[in-house]
C-alpha cells in the first residue's frame, strides 16, 4: 500500500487522530499552516476531488459537515477555511482526497 493516508487509516502510520467513524477520519496535519490545521479524509481511497464520482456526493458533503463540527469543537468562532487542493497547480501532494480545515488566525484572500 503506497498511499500514506491509507496507511494512516490502517494504523500502519501514526497520526494524531481527532475524529473517526465508519466513513471518515480526521487528524492533525504534520506540518500545520495555522494554529488549527486538520485533515479530513474518507476511509475509501479516492485520489482527489477530480476523481470523485456521483456515488461520492454524500461523502463529500459529509466531510464538509464534519469539518464544521470540528471547527465548532475547536472554538473557531472567528471563522475558518476548508480547502481541497486539486492537482499540480493547486499543490496537491497527497493523492488521497482530503479536506484541510484551517483556523485560529486571520487568512488572506485570494489564497496564494
Q: Looking at the annotation, which residues are catalytic?
A: 98
Contact call for residue 82 and ligand AMP (CB under 6 A): no
d(CA 101, CA 99): 6
Contact call for residue 85 and ligand AMP (CB under 6 A): yes
Identify the residue whose cell numbers are 459537515. Answer: 65
Question: Which listed range, 62-70, 73-81, 89-97, 102-110, lies at the site for ligand AMP (CB under 6 A)?
Answer: 89-97
What is the nearest approach in angstroms of ligand AMP to the Cβ of residue 64? 15
What is the nearest approach in angstroms of ligand AMP to the Cβ of residue 90? 7
Count the Cβ atoms, other than its own, within 10 Å of residue 13. Answer: 12
Longest dimension (CA), the chain: 39
Question: Which listed range, 18-26, 52-60, 72-80, 87-95, lies at the site for ligand AMP (CB under 6 A)?
Answer: 87-95
Of 44, 50, 33, the closest CA to residue 5 belongs to 44
CB 99 within 8 Å of CB 40: yes
The footprint of ligand AMP (CB under 6 A) covers 4, 13, 15, 29-31, 39, 85, 91-94
Amino acid at each position: 500500500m503506497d498511499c500514506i493516508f491509507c496507511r494512516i487509516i490502517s494504523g500502519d502510520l501514526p497520526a494524531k487522530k481527532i475524529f473517526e467513524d465508519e466513513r471518515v477520519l480526521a487528524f492533525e496535519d504534520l506540518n500545520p499552516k495555522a494554529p488549527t490545521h486538520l485533515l479530513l479524509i474518507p476511509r475509501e481511497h479516492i485520489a482527489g476531488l477530480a476523481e470523485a464520482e456521483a456515488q461520492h456526493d454524500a461523502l463529500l458533503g459529509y466531510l464538509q459537515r464534519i469539518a464544521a463540527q470540528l471547527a465548532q469543537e475547536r472554538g473557531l468562532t472567528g471563522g475558518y477555511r476548508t480547502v481541497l487542493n486539486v492537482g499540480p497547480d493547486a499543490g496537491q501532494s497527497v493523492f488521497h482526497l482530503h479536506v484541510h480545515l484551517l483556523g485560529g488566525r486571520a487568512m488572506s484572500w485570494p489564497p496564494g
